[in-house]
A = this chain, B = another copy of it.
């Protein structure tokens, strides 16, 4: 049996990321704290991308946007450094992944804008605590990630298909899970699809190899719930051939100081 390290405090996890001591998935880490997807773009793409997020709030719910050139957060994790405080990053050029890294300090430019977008790992902890445990969370694994045939609303150069994650629940629990997650608009909110998602182009047994995660098994008496996913900007980068973009590595999220309780009050 694998020993899985558990962080409770986001500041400790981020400090370990900064020192290169934690380079793994953040699934199941720091339960009760809000996790975020990261997108970094130069200032001249920032309006179009912010507009893209506003037009597609389900996959891209904005938690914080940094001031151009400033790598430090002010709101969801004051003093956190976007260049070092995530376990792993991806660098895109012309829409293609050219590199994965654990530190982007030497790539940082004085016109970079960071976008922190809510992640469903956040509500996984809530589901866990509320009596809807997910196998992937308890095992520290990533849920399967799938590219749908649903186009996002475009904005400027940004366009591309919606990406989703799937989770399975007993039929008599699914409505409660819908209601519970609907209260967390900043972490994708309610599911975008309920049931077998083949009509939206998703085969739950085959996660997208580019983004990974484990196949979802929908058992007897269970139903699949499908949520919009913050990986969407990475697919959009490819579809739009974005000249330069940095993101987190899928599953390797930014863990903020914002608590689920604070999120629920919004």
Distance in angstroms between the alpha carbons of A187 and B47 in the assembled complex: 23
Residue A239 interfacial (CB < 8 Å): no
Closest beta carbon of chain B to A239's beta carbon, Å: 18
Closest beta carbon of chain B to A95's beta carbon, Å: 22
* Chain A contact residues, majority secondary structure: helix
Across the two chains, which residue of chain B brings its CB closest to A58?
B266
Scan residues 152-172 of chain A and give those whose CB is less than 8 A from a CB of chain B: 155-156
Residues in B with CB closer than 8 Å to A46 are: 47
Residues in B with CB closer than 8 Å to A55 are: 65
Q: Which of A43, A51, A65 has the most CB of B within 10 A?
A: A51
Distance in angstroms between the alpha carbons of A156 and B185 in the assembled complex: 26
- Report the count of interface residues on A (CB-CB < 8 A): 13
Residues in B with CB closer than 8 Å to A50 are: 47, 50-51, 54
Distance in angstroms between the alpha carbons of A50 and B67 in the assembled complex: 12
Residue A62 interfacial (CB < 8 Å): yes
What's the number of copies of this chain in the assembled complex? Answer: 2
Scan residues 12-70 of chain A and give those whose CB is less than 8 A from a CB of chain B: 43, 46-47, 50-51, 54-55, 62, 65, 67
Q: Are A43 and B54 in contact (CB under 8 A)?
A: no
Across the two chains, which residue of chain B brings its CB closest to A66?
B51
Closest beta carbon of chain B to A181's beta carbon, Å: 15
Across the two chains, which residue of chain B brings its CB closest to A189?
B266
Closest beta carbon of chain B to A106's beta carbon, Å: 26
Distance in angstroms between the alpha carbons of A65 and B54 in the assembled complex: 8
Closest beta carbon of chain B to A252's beta carbon, Å: 25
Contacts A/B (CB < 8 Å), 15 sampled: A43-B47, A46-B47, A47-B47, A47-B50, A50-B50, A50-B51, A50-B54, A51-B65, A54-B54, A54-B62, A54-B65, A55-B65, A67-B155, A67-B156, A185-B185
Residues of A that sit less than 8 Å from B by CB: 43, 46-47, 50-51, 54-55, 62, 65, 67, 155-156, 185
